Structure 1
Amino acid sequence: MSTPFGVDLGNDNTVIACARNRGIDIIVNEVSNRSTPSLIGFGPRNRFIGESGKNQQTSNLKNSVDNLKRILGLNFNDPDFEVEKKYFSVPLVENKDGGISAKVRFLGEQQEFTSTQLAAMYINKIKDITFKETKGNITDICLSVPTWYTEKQRRAASDACRIAGLNPVRIVNEITAAAVGYGVFKANDLPEDEPKKVAFVDIGHSSYQVSIAAVKKGELKILGSAYDKHFGGRDFDYAIAEHFANEFKTKYKIDVHENPKAFYRVLTAAEKLKKVLSANTQAPFNIESLMNDIDVSSSLTREELEEYVQPLLERVHIPIETALKEAGLKAEEIDSIEVIGGCTRVPSLKAKLTEIFGKQLSFTLNQDEAIARGNAFICATHSPTVRVRPFKFEDFNPYTVSYFWDKQEEDEDHLEVFPRGGSFPSTKIITLFRKGDFDVEARYTKKEELPVGTEPIVAKWQLKGVVPSEGETSIAAKLKLRNDPSGFYTIEAAYTVEEKLVKELVEQEGEQDEDAEPEYREVKKLVKKNDLQIVQSTAALDEGVRQQMIEKENSLVMEDKLVADTEERKNALEEYIYELRGKLEEQYKDFASPEEKEKLTGMLAKAEDWLYDDGYDSTKAKYIARYEELASIGNIIRGRYLAKEEEKKQAYRQKQEAAQAKAMAEKMAAAREASKSGDSKKETSGDNDGDVDMD
């Protein structure tokens, strides 16, 4: 049985939730944190993913890749990439498919990994964390993505899951997942008839999203959505970092922009300072040996921070107004404003949101975990073995999509099928009159709705097997077009129909004679003739390419495991050397002959010298061999010690048992004496009573 789990792939940190124990649990990682850093570090022998990657990011800056979801499925020549480049310390290059790859030094050579491979590496780590925590079968995942993701980016997210060995049952918009969680877990507070109008605001590490939803018990519909792709916590961090970078130029005569590690340390300190200023009006800023052995110190007030981020605060109203317009509502018609995302802890941002909506904000959802919880519930709804309460939800289609074909019998060569603002999942059936096999193409048809630089082509299909009926030049072909639950545009089914005479029962009016024969009439009806073969070409990876990436990821996992096992064996050998040497002088000193001590001490010294010289970077097998060589003698001495200890324990147990038996015998003897004494007193007492009665 697969354990349903949901993943909120954050730009800075990722949260995992799992449906189990009749509820939704947040999964903690190997160091018991409820979120895991979203980055991958590449080293000389292995990868460092999540916590281990974060721990060595400063020393391995040029080989550490973060901001994973900002480049997933993005083209190298996309205008957005020009904005994103400054957030990366690793070189990013264009790959053969026009996408983005990270160029790192790994296993002693320069290697390139596509954005999809990088996301897959990280998701595989998340799967491993979940498996170790739940001990369950981890195969199904619900992954959330930003609202603005195009078909190509959503396909890349799906491919990343598959490369990691997971089945993406649904790719869902992040803020929609949070809204689903609200609808499910706050069900007792929701109306059953007239829906509640709720604004969901999510301002995270790198982006700002707003959705307006109509929510009632067991049902949710997203009425409007909007976003600002370049508005988040990292923009606040950069504003603070740039302020101090300019200050240090004057104050200390150093330019941290010339040293990537120095600027990264300023950026890290800026993030911490931002968090301190959320609860305090002033905070110090100190970094030791920042650059050229210079210690720097300064401070910042909350008012100064608000001044530096004023350009950001002036944009807060735009997504809200756009989402309200899409929903056909005004701010005063909103019943509740649910706020999530780490950046919403900034006081000036909360004040601005309150001012725009004209009412108090609500923080009933967990700001960091709401999306992951919603994802886990959605994944559970797809599980055949997990029972969940019924909940229906429809999302908001952000981009208009039309389907195109070559004109044959039709007057038009395209049809707008899924307009912006429509709900999905959604299905439409169209009929085309075809003379033979034909092609269909889905395109984004309103450029103004799209992120700048988005390719218009969504997908292409070849439909084969079209054969007109005898004597006809064309035949009707019905196409079932679908914007599916993951937001993918597909042709779900296609078949030809032909007109045939069929017999139809004639319904008689009034009373009928039971013995009368039923009457039929012949009518012309369209009936299915045959299914068409659908050959699709989407933004998803070709099966062969995906399989190569799966094999590559599996081999890297095995290499990482070998390195981890080798390091574990090395540490075990080092620990055994020091432990055995210490015990020879203490616990084991009476259990080894002088010859054995001399021989073993020499072997320990030799093993230690080897460990810190030729054996410093050796193989797992050699560490095991050295350990077993020492243990062959050490275990004999240890066996003698343990045998003596067991003798002592046995003697102690026998002594305790004898003492307990003696105490029990004495207790029983005392009880017998007390019983005899009691009987004697009772007899005397009985005679006196008799004498009294007789009187």
Structure 2
Amino acid sequence: MEKRGDDYLPAAIGIDLGTTYSCVAAWKYDRIEIIPNNQGNRTTPSCVAFIDEARLIGDGAKNQATMNPVNTIFDAKRLIGRTFSDSKVQDDMKSWPFKVIEGPADTPKIVVSYKGKTKKFLAEEISSMILGKMKETAESYLGKVVKDAVITIPAYFNNSQRQATKDAGAIAGLNIISMINEPTAAAIAYGLEPFKSTKEKKKNVLVFDLGGGTFDVSILTILKGGRFEVKAVAGDTHLGGEDFDNRMVDHCVGEFKRKWGKDLIPNKKALGRLRCACEKAKRILSCDTQTSIELDCLHEGIDFSMKFSRAKFEELNMDYFDRCMKTLETCLSDAKMEISWVSDVILVGGSTRIPKIQSMLQKLFYWKELYKSLNPDEAVAYGAAVLGAKLSGISSDQRCRDLVLLDVTPLSLGVETQGERFDVVIPRNTQIPMKKSKIYVTCADNQTFEDIKVYQGERARSKDNHLLGMLKVSGIPPAPKGVAKLDVCFEIDANGILTVTIQILSTGKTTKLRITNENGRLSKEEIEKMIKDADKYKHEDEEYNKKVSAFNALEDCIYNMKKKIKNMAYSVRLNEMERVIADTIKWIENHQDASLDKVHAMKEYLESICMREF
């Protein structure tokens, strides 16, 4: 395509795929635009619902969640890249209204009812639906097809979670040109501002990212000229606003049982209504010191009413807040950075609006003023779009073109050695991309093969860490113990995804570990099948929307005809027209499942009878 301006060239969009809300941004008119969805909202609920007639994504799904809890899916980000047996998945299942079962290779599968059939989805598929919605939102705004995207991920995501997110992007029809850690993306948004002083050559910034389901802390050094160096990251991929909501829900459930002697847990609709009310109350408590939760006929005709104070909210969640601060201190320690060296503390994620979080941060940083100029809901998508513009090569902004990003790996990577010990090859907070090798020897006489297990984590015992994959190295020449040598090479790309290559030094034979196919991750064939399924669902959604539009057009036609005959002079055909209108209204009531052609035919028939008089 000939270059005539930025709008004529394809640009990579930036997508913040959040646990509770997602956001998309793009470079347009030489600046970043946060793109509103079809409801006019700048963030979209990360929610997918299945109803009898269609699939809903975003606001539509969230709006009907209380009436259809078992078929409304949220928190897919808390499942992605995890195993069904993961203790955190098992804990979450207790609070989710939808059903999760064990699939092949210990993968969690979400079960819903859709068009009278039972459907099972992987978290990657649900996430791909949300990404597809963000893609459509961007395409509608930009007026062109979007293929390339930069997707953000929690800094503390392990390799499986990163790869699973990349798979979700592929299923959504996106070419993921880069994945960037969420706090790093926020730091890019912050770092676009010019340095306040011409003498200032660098800034140390701490990004405190507390969202709906994940928590990250990153410490970066931003050098004048657009170089971003990540010094350390720390976090918890299972801590955020959803957990605060759960504590409030549990407290209310306990109060209901104490007062009325009845258990709310089996009533999924009641729990869904209560969860929505608690989330709303949590938001209010960030502004006011007290609110109330009022729900009519919550359970068995009983109305529920209780006052909720900010102090009670803080008491219920204080252990979570303390965990955040301890994680922050770990990050400072890993970066070997004093508190006084930090220029700015940047708040990212909706949960950073909680006053107690802000006061604890200010106290830790000697009452330093927190940096709040960035919108905490949009900063991550903003930074991702900046990187997308740079990688697409379309921006004329010098700050964008000069951007250099040096990230780190969040968790240590290594292999299992004798005695189930975890031997680290690449320590956590090592700058990436990175390639590093280590030599290992056989541990038995005449050993001809070796099973290599690759782990990610910080524990001394291998099985206490996350198993990324295993491969069998065969063809080792028989030799005494400790003679045969294996060169184990770990290579991490810019997206933090790992490839392990093992070479038998005496023969030169190599074996490569394909992490993507281990632990139930998706194969190329599975991804291709899911892409076809996604196209099928998209086609079904389009057909449903056409039918809804046709029914709306028919009802508009009825309204217009009734309005016209009300004011018309006497006609011998008036009774016939009124009868046809009444018959059409009755037909609509009894034929909601009618085909698109039949709806069009009814409208044409109505017009043919009524329009003769006009």
Question: Could you say which TM-score interval applies, normalised by the shorter chain?
Answer: 0.7 to 0.9
**For the residues of structure 1 that align with 2:71 and 2:275, how far apart are their CA atoms?**
18
Q: TM-score, normalised by structure 1?
A: 0.76
Return the offset for 1:26. 0.7
Contact 1:147 1:175 (8 Å CA) reproduced: yes
Find out whether 1:155 has 2:159 as its counterpart.
Answer: no
Distance in 1 separating the partners of 2:413 and 2:402 = 30
2:91 corresponds to which of 76, 79, 83 = 83
Aligned to 2:47: 39
Q: Deviations over 1:22-60 (max 9, x none)?
A: 111111111101111111111112111111101111111
Task: Letter of the 1:575 partner, please give it.
Answer: D
The 1:226/1:534 distance shift into structure 2, 3 A limit, reads closer
Whether 2:185 is the aligned partner of 1:177: answer yes
Confirm whether residue 457 of structure 1 aligns to residue 465 of structure 2.
Answer: no
Stretch of structure 1 that moved more, 600-609 or 206-215: 600-609
Deviation at 1:359, TM superposition (A): 3.2
Shift of the 582–531 alpha-carbon distance from structure 1 to 2, 3 Å rule, reads farther
Aligned with 1:201 (options 187, 203, 208): 208
Q: Give the Cα separation in 2 of the matches to 1:373 and 1:459.
A: 38
Q: 2:598 aligns with which of 603, 622, 629?
A: 622
Q: Does 1:293 align with 2:320?
A: no
2:23 equivalent to 1:23: no
**2: distance between equivalents of 1:554 and 1:24?**
30
Equivalence for 1:362: 371
> Are the aligned partners of 2:48 and 2:74 in contact in 1 as well (CA < 8 Å)?
yes
Corresponding residue number in structure 2 for 1:247: 255
Among 320, 331, 341, which residue is 1:323 paired with? 331
| Corresponding residue number in structure 1 for 2:406 | 394
Q: Distance in 2 between matches of 1:168 and 1:224?
A: 25
1:67 CA drift (Å): 0.3
Distance 1:151 1:557 in 2: 30
For residues 409-558 of structure 1, the aligned pairs below 5 Å read 417-428=425-436, 443-444=454-455, 447-448=458-459, 454-458=465-469, 482-490=491-499, 536=514, 538-539=516-517, 541-558=522-539
Q: Distance in 1 between matches of 2:395 and 2:196?
A: 25
Contact 2:412-2:458 at 8 Å conserved across structures: no
Q: C-alpha separation between the residues in 1 aligned to 2:22 and 2:142?
A: 17
Does residue 219 of structure 1 match 2:195? no
TM-score, scaled relative to structure 2: 0.86
Choose the corresponding residue for 2:586, options 606, 609, 620. 609
Q: Which residue number in structure 1 is paired with residue 390 of structure 2?
A: 381
Q: Any idea what SS the aligned residue of 1:601 has? A: helix
- Does the C-alpha gap of structure 1 residues 281 and 334 become closer, same or farther in structure 2, counting only changes over 3 Å? same
Partners of 1:33 and 1:75 in 2: how far apart? 34
Q: Which residue of 1 aligns with 2:283?
A: 275
User: Matches of 1:187 and 1:426 in 2, distance apart?
Assistant: 30
1:8 counterpart = 2:16: yes
Distance 2:313 2:546 in 1: 47
1:481 to partner: Cα distance: 5.9
1:134 is matched with which residue?
142
Contact 1:197 1:215 in 2 (8 A): yes
Q: 1:440 to 1:550 in 2, by over 3 A?
A: farther
Letter in 1 for 2:209: D
Matches of 2:557 and 2:309, distance apart in 1: 53
Match of 1:314 in 2: 322
Task: Return 37-46 or 301-310, whichever deviates more.
Answer: 301-310
Distance in 2 (CA, whole Å) between partners of 1:446 and 1:535 is: 18
User: What is the CA distance between 1:109 and its match in structure 2?
Assistant: 1.5
Q: Find out whether 1:186 has 2:193 as its counterpart.
A: yes
- Alpha-carbon distance in structure 2 between the residues aligned to 1:313 and 1:605: 62
Moved more, 26-35 or 347-356: 347-356
SS of match in other structure, 1:126:
helix
Instruction: Report the CA distance shift for 1:601/1:480 in structure 2 as closer, same or farther (over 3 A).
Output: same
What amino acid is aligned across from residue 443 of structure 1 in structure 2? V
- Structure 1 residues 451 and 187, CA, compared in 2 at 3 Å: closer, same or farther? farther
Give the superposition deviation at 1:439: 10
Query: 1:68, 1:115 within 8 Å by CA — same for their partners in 2?
Result: yes
> 1:197 is aligned with what amino acid?
N
**2:444: which partner in 1?**
none
In structure 2, what residue type is equivalent to 1:353? L
- Checking the alignment, whether the CA contact within 8 Å between 1:192 and 1:216 is kept in structure 2 is no
Q: Which residue matches 2:551?
A: 570
Q: 2:413, 2:426 within 8 Å by CA — same for their partners in 1?
A: yes
Following the alignment from structure 1 to structure 2, what is the Cα–Cα distance between the partners of residues 336 and 600? 72
| Residue 85 of structure 2 is aligned to residue 68 of structure 1 | no
Letter paired with 2:210: I
Between the two structures, name the one with larger relative contact order (CA 8 Å, sep ≥ 6): 2
Cα RMSD of the aligned pairs, angstroms, is 3.4
Counterparts in 2 of 1:395 and 1:297: CA distance versus 1, 3 Å: same
Q: Is the 8 A contact 2:149 2:178 kept in 1?
A: yes
Q: How big is the shift at 1:267?
A: 1.9
1:104 CA drift (Å): 0.7
Structure 2 gap segments, 5+ residues each: 1-8, 441-448, 476-484
Tell me how far 1:154 sits from its aligned partner: 0.9
Contact 1:463-1:535 within 8 A present in 2 as well = no
Aligned residues: 580
Structure 1, unaligned runs of 5 or more: 406-413, 433-437, 465-475, 499-529, 639-695
